[in-house]
Structure 1
Amino acid sequence: MKIAIATRDFSTVSGHAGQARQWLLYDLSEHRAGRLLPAPRRVELDKDEVLHVFADDRPHPLDGIDIAVAASAGDGFVRHMKQRGCEVLLTGESDPALAITRILAGEALPDPRFDITTTLCKLRDLFSRH
């Protein structure tokens, strides 16, 4: 399983996942319970690779992820990721390692905090191609 976490400076879980350029990618395909988490790979997206504008016309650095984690995301982003075979989890957890630990333990993530940009995205998503 591969989990990508939208981040701000690769240190905290970021909101507005569709605009996020910095992601931590955890490849958990070899991970076993009770072992330390593998170090994540840092992924810095180019402007044309940001998922809000990406045209799905070529390979993407986040191809193959099973779960995307962010503090907020619009409905268009969630639909786009579902088409790509990825589930989106939103959380109020700010620490990426704690978010991963909770997911692997089967624990619920804290609810996301209110983010005005999500409300604006929902309005824009009414006219989105996704």
Structure 2
Amino acid sequence: MTAFRKMLVLAFAAGLGSTTLAFAGGMTPEQQADARTKVETAVALANIAKADKDGEAMLVAARLLAQAGPVAEQGAKVKDGKPTLMDTGKMAKMAKDMGADAKKADAVASMATSNGETARSDGYWYYSCDSYNNCQWIYAGY
């Protein structure tokens, strides 16, 4: 391989690596997988908690979402290019109203910021499906 080709390959690999890190909000693959698992589990658990009116389950869902970062509400409208995010503080209050431990609910509510966004400010998680109905949570960096 010529020196020019080697430089081209290295430049391409370096560009690809930096694009991946920018897209993932600087998370390592392990951190991204952990956060995606928390989002998947928390959203499913929150839906079950709403249906069963289970405050403890809602509290666990809110805690997981607060740790994973901002999550776009499924089906909610996008305003000014930004999604409507799930509000973990509101979820913690809902958990308290459903009978969850008040101290635990207040602790989870304090993890959320005033506008419902949590931990990360460089992007958010959203649910995406392709034309074959393969769906997954994807992290979109700003």
| Larger-gyration structure (1/2) | 2
Greater strand content: 1
Greater helix content: 2
Do they superpose with TM above 0.5?
no
**What TM-score do the two structures reach when normalised by structure 2?**
0.26
**What TM-score do the two structures reach when normalised by structure 1?**
0.28
